[in-house]
Amino acid sequence: MKLFKNKFFLICLCVAVVLSVTATAFSLMGYRALVRDAVGTLTYPFRWVGNKIADAGEGFVAYFGSVKALRKQNEALKEENESLRRQNEEAVLLEQENERLRAYLNMRAKHPQMNLAEATVVGREANNYTTVFLLNRGSIHGIAVNLPVITEDGIVGVVCEVGLTWCKVETVLETNSAVGAEVPARGAAGIVSGDYALKGTGLCKLSYVTPADADLQVGDAVFSSGTGSIYPADLWIGTVEQVAYDAPSRSVEAYIRPAVDYENLTHVMVITGYN
């Protein structure tokens, strides 16, 4: 056999036979303790190597076992994180919906004479400052041209174009807008409209103020007066940001910051009629 032709194997076999015979002889001669110590000494390196190999094997198994456990924990944490993210998004949407409903109910309670239709802003016409919005309500929802559009904060504008399921709204920043206005704190009245020179500033102008010497002040609140056929009275238009003197009309005028934040507008209400 090839095994018995291997020199290393033959040497190891001879050494093992000699050790075995020697150990047996010494045992028979009464030197068992000596033999036991000698065998223990001779086999210690082999036992030490064996123990290290066994420890390494156990460590190898433990390492890969811990890696597997960590992977499972990581997957579980990912699933938990995704679940929490979805819950957070749902909570945000629910809070937004609650805010919208609160605003609608507040307006219904504050103006019970108004018939209101909720609408969502689904588009904007891009220019220096957004002054035209697209809503997801149209003629099938009772929307018509010249209906006023508001929020809980105040006046947005007026419906200028209507489709079957959509409509466009021009804000008070448009140059062709006109809202009868009053400043209760000063006993003054006038017309709020857009101004070409103010395009891009987000401001509109209060002009044709009566009395001509009205003592308008920065910070004065401006409301709709109800004059005209579009906007009802007592809706907030905005706040006086700057006061100036109009030489041609020899009267005071003011620049108004609208109460509604047009840049972040998402939901509005259209006044479709009155009780």
Nearest to 147 by CA among 106, 115, 192, 111: 115
What tokens were used for 244? 């100036």
Q: What percent of the chain has pLDDT over 70?
A: 68
Q: Is residue 135 pLDDT above 90, yes or no? A: yes
90-114 per-residue burial string, b: 16 or more CB within 10 A, e: under 16: eeeeeeeeeebeebbeebeeebeeb
Nearest to 171 by CA among 92, 231, 114, 248: 231
User: Is residue 185 classed as helix, strand or coil in its secondary structure?
Assistant: coil
- Residues 32-49: tens digit of each pLDDT: 555 555 555 655 565 565
pTM of the model: 0.65
Q: What is the mean pLDDT of residues 111-140?
A: 84
